[in-house]
Amino acid sequence: MDAVHHFYDRVRVFRESHRLLSAQGVVCIATDSVDIIRNRTPLSTYCTETIEIELNRYPRIEMLEAELRDSGFVTLRQEMVCSSSWLTDLSAYRAKAFSCLRLLPEDSYRLGLEGLETDLAKGSVLSVSRYLLLWANR
């Protein structure tokens, strides 16, 4: 789940996770790096204003690692995962299923959606999902 950018008090969440895990427990955080945010396809392509919004919302990877270490976690490692598909349905975009779309000014959102609709009318649009997995051992 890509939700760490919604946490009000990440350190508290990390400390409680550390407390609840068994001695061999592992936590995995799925998040976005600066590079991922800047290169989201199609989101950052059609709704470019989401880039700055998301850069301000997502904690930097170095910050997450420091907070995890401060919470008692060790042996941190990063893993990049990626998948791609062809977008043929804009229902999720129309419903603003991606939280950053709800933060856009309405005219920017409409302009991005219209661009997606125009290109989708010509054929499917490439969609690439990338996440940085941050693993930490208790």
What number is the average pLDDT over the span 36-50? 95
pLDDT digits (tens, 9 = 90+) for 100-122: 999 999 999 999 999 999 999 99
Length of the chain: 138
Q: Reply yes or no on whether the pLDDT at 25 is more than 70.
A: yes
Q: Is residue 112 within 8 Å of 125, Cβ to Cβ?
A: no
pLDDT digits (tens, 9 = 90+) for 59-93: 999 999 999 999 999 989 999 999 999 999 999 99
CA 107, 110, 111 angle in degrees (round to 5)?
85
DSSP string covering 18-61:
HHHS-TT-EEEEEE--HHHHHT-BTHHHH-THHHHHHHHHSPPH
- pLDDT number for residue 1: 62
Buried b (16+ CB within 10 A) or exposed e, 35-54: ebbeebebbbbbbebbbebb
Q: Reply yes or no on whether the pLDDT at 46 is more than 70.
A: yes
Confidence of residue 8 (pLDDT cuts 50, 70, 90): confident
- pLDDT number for residue 85: 96
The residue type at 13:
V
What number is the average pLDDT over the span 12-34? 95
- pLDDT number for residue 6: 83
User: Percent of the chain beyond pLDDT 90?
Assistant: 93
What number is the average pLDDT over the span 32-48? 95
| Domains observed in the chain | 4-137 (3.40.50.150)
- pLDDT number for residue 95: 97
Q: What is the pTM of this model?
A: 0.87
